[in-house]
């Protein structure tokens, strides 16, 4: 009998890999990002069908964050977060830049205004008392 376990593929489409590595929730979102130039392979804009191999460098931009990662392994299927983290290694300069940007966003965040909807009966009484009506 043959062993049912298949060997891992040596290359995978970039849109499949980005989904498997949990950079995007769906393959179509990953493909749109690649088409829009928000994901680059080895410094070049590529199509979603371009193959990714171990050792390739991928630059992914999402919102304010930017990741520069080196592919360590390939996978077609999306697994757990622990498995996804083994697929790549983030460059140190990329990690420090993201952490600095996150710290700046936390500092720059203003007070949060809580919207509660319509005033309650008690709120209306306080408003009337304050305005003198």
Q: Tens of pLDDT along 62-116?
A: 888 899 999 999 988 998 999 999 999 999 999 999 999 888 888 887 666 677 7
DSSP class of residue 8 equals P
Cβ neighbours around 34 below 10 Å, total:
25
Q: How are beta strands 44-45 and 12-13 bridged, if at all?
A: unpaired
Domain ranges of the chain: 12-106
Predicted confidence at residue 24, as pLDDT, reads 93
Tokens 């199509």 -> residue: 47
CA 54 centroid distance within chain: 20
Predicted confidence at residue 26, as pLDDT, reads 93
Torsion of CA 62, 64, 69, 71, to 10 degrees: -10
Domain spanning 12-106: CATH superfamily: RNA-binding S4 domain (3.10.290.10)
Instruction: Tell me how far apart the alpha carbons of residues 86 and 83 are, in angstroms, rounded to a whole number.
Output: 5
């Amino acid at each position: 009998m043959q062993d049912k376990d298949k060997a891992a593929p040596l290359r995978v489409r970039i849109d499949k890999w980005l989904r498997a590595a949990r950079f995007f929730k769906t393959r179509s979102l990953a493909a749109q990002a690649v088409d829009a130039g928000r994901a680059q392979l080895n410094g070049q804009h590529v199509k979603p069908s371009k193959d990714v191999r171990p050792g390739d460098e991928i630059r992914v931009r999402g919102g304010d964050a930017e990741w520069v990662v080196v592919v360590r392994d390939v996978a077609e299927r999306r697994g757990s977060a622990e498995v996804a983290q083994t697929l790549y290694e983030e460059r140190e300069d990329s990690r420090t830049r993201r952490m600095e940007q996150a710290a700046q966003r936390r500092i720059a965040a203003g007070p949060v205004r809580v919207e509660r909807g319509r005033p309650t009966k008690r709120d209306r009484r306080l408003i009337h008392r304050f305005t003198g009506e």
